[in-house]
Structure 1
């Protein structure tokens, strides 16, 4: 691909309408670019797990003028109890460990980002990128359903299994590093009557949890189990086979596991995937650049995926604006700004995965982890310059 910069870039195709894609579209629009977002799903993805914000990610929401609105969706999660096979509590997990400074359901966040961008951004749902051909002045893009179109730049914000990354950089096996955990997440009724709390159960090589959602009208459950590597390709999109695998792993467990397995089978929003990281020497090639999990996933055990998506979107758009649309200079600056930040978070993700199925912790150990988490709200510093914008700032959440 030819990386030579000619005329300044203005039109940008973003693949993926999760968190990173719409956040980038917001900032690109503010800087005068013309973004288009294409999303494989037929509509915004609802459900999903809770996501939390820490450190500079709150600053980005503040600069978007969204912090107060998102804070209204806070799960208000309190501490959770660790239980044994008979349902007896043996320790308390402080919320700072898993809920960050602010926690919302991912579906609530993506919906809000869509709402604040839809009037000025073109969204194309139910389609995906199938080919990218670059020349000196742009990228010719082919789609699964729509007619070919041409853009100045293309951004892959399409997650861990990024098709954009595969088209430009090669198969995901080159870049995706399995962390030894598979996770299933699904919604269910709050039949346990929990209120702003959760229950966590663990056994050797497996764990399960249930947490309430906002206003306690529902709950989210998850199964986790140790695995040596990714599933076979045919299992990645076969819900029945995935659920049979989970049922086999948890067949002899107590607590609420039998009920949760039944709830899993009838859940409308079942999600299953490996816990993994993406490690790449560079996040761009020619006129194509990767954002968020597509380029530098730190893994769920880092607790930083959403924060990286928001901060990465802000910095990428800002660097493109500061470079006057010169993508070569902008992509290099984007990577310089974020590389140390991402490297630290990936180390945290690996450490979290290594201790995920460790021995049942004592209360003293959990309190020490909580104290450490409270001091890690801001990890490796990343600059959040104004990039020439008069950014909106709302009141900071206490």
Structure 2
């Protein structure tokens, strides 16, 4: 059984963590990643809960702590930059929780698994056909290959999910929000230990510290945008500019940087809901299976789910379906409460009215 081959589509947090644990269990692992290199940017994410122990067992916890954003508190401000409320952040105690840029976490996990994993960068899965004994894969660039198991860890817009389970319109549920992140101008003055957030009704903008400078974060309420394309950066910059055209505080300078930047991330804030996360010899992991939303514990759950999946696959004694079913049953117990909480978190972070902003500030004011 140790000679089994596994293809993981997606080399981000979920895919790299899974690759590490599968290789440790003696399986032959290949990761195909659409990006040309390991990812190096992204908004802050948390490593906490079960992911904290996963990181410790992988031997990467110290590196994760070294990459912390340093954020210890959050301040809410008005148009003039006057503080209206303050609150401490849980990651102030790095013995239990660490916040770090998504790209830094992905890079740390990639380095942990790369020596025992084959990586195919700048490539993707374009065809998939499975039978009782394996899965035939057609790559966009590499030659056709066959694997014993295929895992879709390729995010909200999963290509593997589309090929096996159907179009994403069946599973992806927008939450009426769009979000963007981008590195702020290096000259931007910011508090290296404090997130600063500005709200107007239905909109939020934040500046968050990071080791390499500040990150700008935008999220706003909107009806579904007709013809939205998550890969069309020109469209994203137009939507962002229109949404924040009359915003105060430091938003104009942050927008100027976002319009000029090539590292802009922009997408609809969404959840993924499927009745089942596996079909035959293909399974889904992380956001591809159960995207919580921008406001959940997606990265931590991806790491926890990856180890659970690897353990069940490694323990498979001939009944792969049973192994995948055990993985799903165990991990759904962690995911479902977080998905239910996401709507409340979005209303807290992006109140729709001025009254909602005032009420939120009153509940956190210190």
Normalised by the size of structure 2, how large is the TM-score? Answer: 0.93
Q: Does 1:206 align with 2:203?
A: yes
From 6, 16, 30, the counterpart of 2:10:
16
Q: Residue 8 of structure 1: CA displacement?
A: 8.4
Q: Does 1:329 align with 2:310?
A: no
Question: Matched residues in 2 for 1:111 and 1:97: separation?
Answer: 20
Question: Matched residues in 2 for 1:70 and 1:339: separation?
Answer: 26
Unaligned runs of 5+ in 1: 1-6, 369-398
Q: Does 1:262 align with 2:260?
A: no
Q: Deviations over 1:339-375 (max 9, x none)?
A: 121111101112212443321245551269xxxxxxx
Aligned match of 2:218: 223
Question: Matched residues in 2 for 1:211 and 1:170: separation?
Answer: 37
Q: Does 1:145 align with 2:141?
A: yes
Q: Does 1:191 align with 2:188?
A: yes
Q: How do 1:1-398 and structure 2 match up within 5 A?
A: 10-96=4-90, 101-188=97-184, 189-214=186-211, 217-229=212-224, 231-233=225-227, 235-302=229-296, 304-324=297-317, 326-358=319-351, 359-360=356-357, 361=359, 364-366=362-364
Unaligned runs of 5+ in 2: none
Q: Residue 329 of structure 1: CA displacement?
A: 1.4
Question: Matched residues in 2 for 1:355 and 1:197: separation?
Answer: 19
Q: Residue 104 of structure 1: CA displacement?
A: 1.1
Q: Residue 325 of structure 1: CA displacement?
A: 5.7
CA contact (8 A) 1:225 1:249 kept: yes
Q: Segments of 4+ in structure 1 off by > 6 A?
A: 97-100
Aligned residues: 358
**CA RMSD across the alignment:** 1.9
CA contact (8 A) 2:60 2:112 kept: no
Q: Residue 146 of structure 1: CA displacement?
A: 1.2
Larger RCO (CA under 8 A, 6+ residues apart): 1
Question: Matched residues in 1 for 2:187 and 2:278: separation?
Answer: 44
CA contact (8 A) 1:94 1:367 kept: no
**Distance change in 2, residues 1:290/1:233 (3 Å):** farther
CA contact (8 A) 2:2 2:26 kept: no
Q: Deviations over 1:83-136 (max 9, x none)?
A: 111111111132228998211111111111111211110000000001111112
The residue matched to 2:116 in structure 1 has which SS? coil
Q: Deviations over 1:33-92 (max 9, x none)?
A: 111000011111211011102211101111112112211111221112111111111111
